[in-house]
């Protein structure tokens, strides 16, 4: 019986964010601008860090890696969403849906671990400055980054192996603008209570756990700075408040969506916008463009490019 039913759903219909044509037009413009600006900003950061030898230090490599992941986070959802805006029927194949969920969880999971690594890097730089280069050497950085990707992949695989074989009957309408794991599970025609708990445990744990680790490390950094010089505190506070804004914008919605998947509240489909559209756009602005060394490097690059073109 189940086997027969399983083949009934071969694609999902995405409801999107709204049915109003005017709002869709506005969303189309806003998301396109955010997406393109985010990709360009992040690309600029990666290219600057990789090509400028003065930026070859753990902090900048980590920032470049964050930009690299951010491009994938927004690309996993936004291009399809933008191209769907004016389609009467927004569909995604069963395999496409699985692939999208897998990909989103890999990159978002990896990004969360990477944010912890970046906080650790700042902690060592500020609290153990004399040992910084010994602790955060190139090998350690690579090792931590590989660990971040492995954790992201494992986190995503664990959830996906449990849901790929779910039976689907006739409900294939997903009230979201991308394939969203909690909603995917809700559509299955079987008792999904345990699966939902599993997703809450896995995704909820990784978002809530990372959130607390980050907040605690920021508090540690602030206390250390404060003990050494109260004048340094206001500078550290202004840097960290930007980080904390990102962390709240990124993790708040994740924690809400994944720790609370049972009564589907209508607002939670809009929360996805924060972590797939807004944070990948804001990260470069907050982490990098406020950084003086980075701005100098970019200007240097620009002058090089301009003077190179004058040769022709
Ligand atoms: C990520 O960091 C590593 C070293 O920490 C660096 O070699 C690599 O170029 C970085 N990747 C990107 C895309 O910036």
Distance CA 160, CA 98 (A): 8
287-291, long-range: CB within 8 Å, 24+ apart, which pairs?
Answer: 287/63, 287/66, 287/118, 287/242, 287/243, 287/246, 288/45, 288/63, 288/67, 289/41, 290/239, 290/242
CB-CB contact of 38 with 76 (8 Å): no
| Residue of minimum CA distance from atom 6 in ligand 1 | 61
pLDDT tens readout for residues 174-222: 888 889 888 888 888 888 888 888 888 888 888 889 999 998 988 888 8
Q: Highest mean pLDDT range out of 73-82, 175-184, 195-204, 300-309?
A: 73-82
Atom in ligand 1 nearest the alpha carbon of residue 64: 14
The more confident residue out of 275 and 52 is 52
Distance CA 131, CA 50 (A): 25
Going along the chain from its start, the domains and CATH numbers come out as 11-303 (1.20.1070.10)
Q: Highest mean pLDDT range out of 240-244, 258-262, 306-310?
A: 240-244
Atom in ligand 1 nearest the alpha carbon of residue 68: 13
Atom in ligand 1 nearest the alpha carbon of residue 46: 14
What confidence category does residue 267 fall into, taking pLDDT thresholds of 50, 70 and 90? low
- Can you read off the two tokens belonging to residue 191? 């008792």
Q: What is the mean pLDDT of residues 112-123?
A: 91
Compute, in angstroms, the gap from residue 111 CA to the centroid of ligand 1.
Answer: 14
pLDDT at position 238 over 90: no
Q: Write down the pTM of the prediction.
A: 0.88
Which residues sit with their C-beta closer than 6 Å to ligand 1? 46, 49-50, 61, 64-65, 68, 141-142, 145
pLDDT at position 82 over 50: yes
CB-CB contact of 287 with 243 (8 Å): yes
Compute, in angstroms, the gap from residue 61 CA to the centroid of ligand 1.
Answer: 5
**Residue 37 CA to chain centroid, in angstroms?**
16
Compute, in angstroms, the gap from residue 302 CA to the centroid of ligand 1.
Answer: 22
- For the chain, what is the radius of gyration of the CA atoms? 22
Give the mutation target among 65, 117, 135 for probing the ligand 1 site: most ligand atoms within 8 A of CB: 65
């Amino acid at each position: 019986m189940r086997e027969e039913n399983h083949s009934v759903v071969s694609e999902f219909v995405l409801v999107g964010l709204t049915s109003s044509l005017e709002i869709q037009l506005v969303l189309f413009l806003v998301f396109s601008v955010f997406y393109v600006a985010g990709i360009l900003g992040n690309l600029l950061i990666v290219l600057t860090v990789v090509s400028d030898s003065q930026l070859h230090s753990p902090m900048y490599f980590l920032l470049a890696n964050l930009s690299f992941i951010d491009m994938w986070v927004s690309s996993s959802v936004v291009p399809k969403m933008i191209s769907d805006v004016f389609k009467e029927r927004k569909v995604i194949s069963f395999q496409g849906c699985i692939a999208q969920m897998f990909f989103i969880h890999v990159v978002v999971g990896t990004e969360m671990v990477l944010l912890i690594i970046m906080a650790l890097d700042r902690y060592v730089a500020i609290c153990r400055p004399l040992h910084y280069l010994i602790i955060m050497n190139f090998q350690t950085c690579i090792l931590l980054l590989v660990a971040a990707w492995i954790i992201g992949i494992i986190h995503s695989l664990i959830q996906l192996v449990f849901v790929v074989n779910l039976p689907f009957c006739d409900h294939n309408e997903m009230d979201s603008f991308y394939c969203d794991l909690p909603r995917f599970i809700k559509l299955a025609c079987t008792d999904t209570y345990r699966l939902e708990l599993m997703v809450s445990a896995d995704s909820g744990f990784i978002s809530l756990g990372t959130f607390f680790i980050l907040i605690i490390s920021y508090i540690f950094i602030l206390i250390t700075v404060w003990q050494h010089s109260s004048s340094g505190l206001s500078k550290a506070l202004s840097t960290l408040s930007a980080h904390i804004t990102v962390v709240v914008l990124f993790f708040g919605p994740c924690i809400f969506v994944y720790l609370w998947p049972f009564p589907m509240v209508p607002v939670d489909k809009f929360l996805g916008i924060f972590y797939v559209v807004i944070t990948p756009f804001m990260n470069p602005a907050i982490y990098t463009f406020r950084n003086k060394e980075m701005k100098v490097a970019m200007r240097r690059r620009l002058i090089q490019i301009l003077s190179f073109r004058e040769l022709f």
